[in-house]
């Protein structure tokens, strides 16, 4: 399949619009058009407490989205432009690009501002005359969250993909499928080939998901979901989820969930760096979780277990390297890892790790402070073995405290203005630090965003 070019979009739109142009049906195409966007400032201060090195940045960003209504209730076109400006840079940052460098999560390789046309697409949908069924196919550069393929939207600007994304919904059933051949990371100004850790091209990535919700008696529901992702000659991954919701007393609701992830090498592009750095040829992880919503309180608990052996020859600082579940579909992509036990600093997905979570969030609206919520979560992981190359092993563990504060300014008449603050404090055993190459850290991150519509 050849690469999609922006010119193909205009050709497709023109071709499909010919009969409609003749009929003069433009009302909804124009009247339903919309322009919206976001202005936000993002601040990262990430401290490696093992080495006392600090990195981070402060940026300003503008997102601008535009799309038409549906011409003949069939086709719509749209796009998005983004701009990132550097406001400040931590003096400890290096100019060399590093995935671990906090500034590189917000800026480009030169740690400078940049702009890009992040989306340009045509969307073809099933007309609304088909009662009970909705379906569409979107072609072009776009934000894709299908199967185990996703975007990263929590930095200065979002990442994006180039390809085809389709979905269908009817009577509680939901299905999606995507085929993608280029990616634009959250720190890149253009679209690029998908590559492995050695920089070799991965021709395409596919994702698919199926879901069905059963509405049961007494306001209970059971939701089943299957998701997958396939990177050509690289990786094949699958995920199954189940959630059961039931009402309790005084409007409270309990949700019980189970999640299972499985990933397997699927070709020669799963190279030495992947086998030595994350897992050799396969990995799996299972999660059980519970959420209780009761008035202003939300309580969470979860357990996760992971198996992810690295190659037998993999070493790290005199230890056999401890592997982890790798959920990416290329070195420059983004994959889904939405288990509750994933924290701000650590994903708690290392080989033979038993990870626990307990947390709570309180909505202060019930005591008159509209829009404010505060949450705390504690994570603890153990069961990993740090094995010395020369013999001997140690039981090792890691833990993390996370705080999250959110505030919506709508109560003050500033609709669309939101503030979010996250702080993660991460500690681990020294032997684990060496075998997993995972330094201790303190991360402070803040977002102030204003969403607008024209």
Q: What is the pLDDT of residue 95?
A: 40
Q: What is the mean predicted confidence (pLDDT) over 40-65?
A: 92
Collapsing DSSP states into helix, strand and coil, what is residue 252? coil
- The CA distance from 224 to 206, in Å, is 21
pLDDT on residue 98 = 41
For residue 157, which of 329, 44, 41, 6 has the smallest C-alpha distance? 41
Q: What is the pLDDT of residues 300-323, one digit of tens each?
A: 999 999 999 999 999 999 999 999
Tokens matching residue 406 = 């959110």
Q: pLDDT per residue over 231-246, tens digit each? A: 999 999 999 999 999 9
Query: Average model confidence (pLDDT) for the chain?
Result: 91
How many residues comprise the chain? 454
The mean pLDDT value for 270-299 works out to: 97
According to CATH, what is the number of the domain 191-453? 2.40.160.10
What are the domain boundaries of the chain?
191-453
Picking from 37-41, 295-299, 372-376, 410-414, which range would have the lowest pLDDT averaged per residue?
410-414
Cα torsion angle, 171, 336, 153, 344, sign: positive
pLDDT of residue 153: 86
94 pLDDT band, cuts 50/70/90, is very low
Helix (H) or strand (E) holding 262: strand 253-265
Closest by Cα among 226, 172, 204, 189 to 112:
189
| Whole-angstrom distance, CA of residue 369 vs CA of residue 317 | 50
Cα torsion 17, 22, 27, 30: sign: positive
The predicted structure's pLDDT at residue 390? 92
Question: What proportion of the chain, given as a percentage, has pLDDT over 90?
Answer: 78
Residue with tokens 């400890």: 92
Residue 21: what pLDDT?
44
Q: Residues 245, 220: contact at Cβ < 8 Å?
A: yes
């Amino acid at each position: 399949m050849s690469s999609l070019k922006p010119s193909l979009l205009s050709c497709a739109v023109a071709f499909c619009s010919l009969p409609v142009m003749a009929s003069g049906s433009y009302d909804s195409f124009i009247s339903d058009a919309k322009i919206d966007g976001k202005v936000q400032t993002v601040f990262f201060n990430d401290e490696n407490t093992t080495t006392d090195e600090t990195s981070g940045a402060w940026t300003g960003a503008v997102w601008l989205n535009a799309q038409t209504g549906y011409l003949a209730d069939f086709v719509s076109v749209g796009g998005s432009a983004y701009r990132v400006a550097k406001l400040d840079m931590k003096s400890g940052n290096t100019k060399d690009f590093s995935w671990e460098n906090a500034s590189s999560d917000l800026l480009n390789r030169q740690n400078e501002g940049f702009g890009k046309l992040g989306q340009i697409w045509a969307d073809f949908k099933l007309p609304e005359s088909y009662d009970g069924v909705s379906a569409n196919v979107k072609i072009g550069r776009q934000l894709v969250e299908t199967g185990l393929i996703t975007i990263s939207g929590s930095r200065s600007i979002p990442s994006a993909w180039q390809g085809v994304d389709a979905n269908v919904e009817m009577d509680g059933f939901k299905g999606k499928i995507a085929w993608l051949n280029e990616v634009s990371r959250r720190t890149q100004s253009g679209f690029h080939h998908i590559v492995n850790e050695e920089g070799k091209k991965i021709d395409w990535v596919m994702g698919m998901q199926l879901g069905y919700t059963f509405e049961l008696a007494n306001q209970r529901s059971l939701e089943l979901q299957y998701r997958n992702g396939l990177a050509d000659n690289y990786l094949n991954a699958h995920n199954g989820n189940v959630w059961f919701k039931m009402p309790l007393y005084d409007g409270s609701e309990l949700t019980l969930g189970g999640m299972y992830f499985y990933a397997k090498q699927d070709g020669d592009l799963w190279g030495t760096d992947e086998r030595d750095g994350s897992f050799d040829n396969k990995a799996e992880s299972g999660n059980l979780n519970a959420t209780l919503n009761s008035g202003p309180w939300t309580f969470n608990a979860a357990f996760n277990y992971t198996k992810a052996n690295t190659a037998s020859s993999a070493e790290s600082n005199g230890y056999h390297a401890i592997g982890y579940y790798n959920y990416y579909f290329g070195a420059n992509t983004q994959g889904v890892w939405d288990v509750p036990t994933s924290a701000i600093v650590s994903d708690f997905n290392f080989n033979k790790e038993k990870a626990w979570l307990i947390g709570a969030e309180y909505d202060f609206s019930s005591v008159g402070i509209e829009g404010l919520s505060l949450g705390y979560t504690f994570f603890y992981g153990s069961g990993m073995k740090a094995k010395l190359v020369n013999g001997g092993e140690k039981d090792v563990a890691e833990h993390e405290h996370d705080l999250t504060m959110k505030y919506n300014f709508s109560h003050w008449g500033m609709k669309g203005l939101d503030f979010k603050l996250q702080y993660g404090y991460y500690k681990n055993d020294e032997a684990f630090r060496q075998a997993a190459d995972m330094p201790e850290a303190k991360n402070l991150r803040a977002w102030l965003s204003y969403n607008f519509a024209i």
